[in-house]
Structure 1
Amino acid sequence: MYSKRSIALVLAGLAVGTCMATVGAANAQTPAQVPAQARALPAGWQLVTLPNANVPNFQRRTLYCPGAKRVLGGGAEAQGNRAILVGSFPTGDGRGWIGIGRQDGYNDVGISVFAICAD
């Protein structure tokens, strides 16, 4: 499972790639000269988060992308003593991300959900 820090570092790397692509455009570089990471960055991408909240075991927490954006990827985190992430997957319509967890010995669990959305 990736931590918030890992996700932030990946996204920071993508942002650097975007800056490089912008500089490349100003210098009239050909597409082959622009780093592959920058070429792969989709238009209008955005990291969306659903902060931690305690919910009953096995209850879904669903995060939707804003507006007409679609989810490209995502994840979830289960928090608490003996917390277990049971599921982390996109919604059926591709507009969001779902996280499900449980916590042994407790009736509820803390769940956070993250999604990378784009136009």
Structure 2
Amino acid sequence: MLSKRTTTITLAALAAGACMATTAAAQATGTTQHAPAAARAAALPPGYQVVTLPNANVPNFQRRTLLCPGTKRVLGGGAEAQGNRAILVGSFPTPDGRGWIGIGRQDGYNDVGISVYAICAD
């Protein structure tokens, strides 16, 4: 039995903003404790939402596009190629900044499983 290989690229950790704020506060007070959950949540931009396009098989090199809901804009995202010898070929924002695109291929097969993720905000 062949082992299943998963290739993942993940982009944009928005929580980094909360960590940077926590680090600055800790340096100012001389403490090393992390900010409370409420402070970390307050550091997120208005309308923050992680949106997922679940795995689906598509022909090799076919784009899977995920758009942010409503008028939200994409802050970052990623994609995942699933299957034996699956390769993620591309993971990037849409030209209009409203979503994320994932592209992949799978050696020896005509299709590949692709999932797409987007971090959206107002």
Q: If the length of structure 2 is used for normalisation, what is the TM-score?
A: 0.70
Aligned runs of 1:1-119 on 2, under 5 Å? 1=8, 19-21=37-39, 40-119=43-122
Instruction: Mark the CA change 1:18 to 1:68 in structure 2 (over 3 Å): closer, same or farther.
Output: farther
Distance 1:71 1:48 in 2: 10
Amino acid at match of 2:67: Y
- RMSD between aligned alpha carbons? 2.7
Instruction: Mark the CA change 1:58 to 1:2 in structure 2 (over 3 Å): closer, same or farther.
Output: closer
Q: Secondary structure at 1:20's aligned position in 2?
A: helix
Distance 1:55 1:18 in 2: 43
Give the superposition deviation at 1:2.
Answer: 5.1
- Identity rate, percent: 78
Give the superposition deviation at 1:20.
Answer: 2.2
Distance 2:60 2:9 in 1: 22
Q: Tell me, which stretches of 5 or more residues in structure 2 are unaligned?
A: 1-7, 20-34
- Provide Cα deviations, 1:32-74, integer angstroms capped at 9, x if missing partner: xxxxx55641111000000000000000000000000000000
Give the superposition deviation at 1:76.
Answer: 0.1
Q: Tell me, which stretches of 5 or more residues in structure 1 are unaligned?
A: 22-36
> In proportion to residue count, which structure has more helix?
1
Residues 18, 41 of structure 1: 8 Å contact kept: no
Amino acid at match of 1:74: G
Distance 1:20 1:48 in 2: 22
Distance 1:61 1:18 in 2: 37
Extract structure 1 runs of 4+ deviating beyond 2 A.
17-21, 37-40
Residues 81, 87 of structure 2: 8 Å contact kept: yes
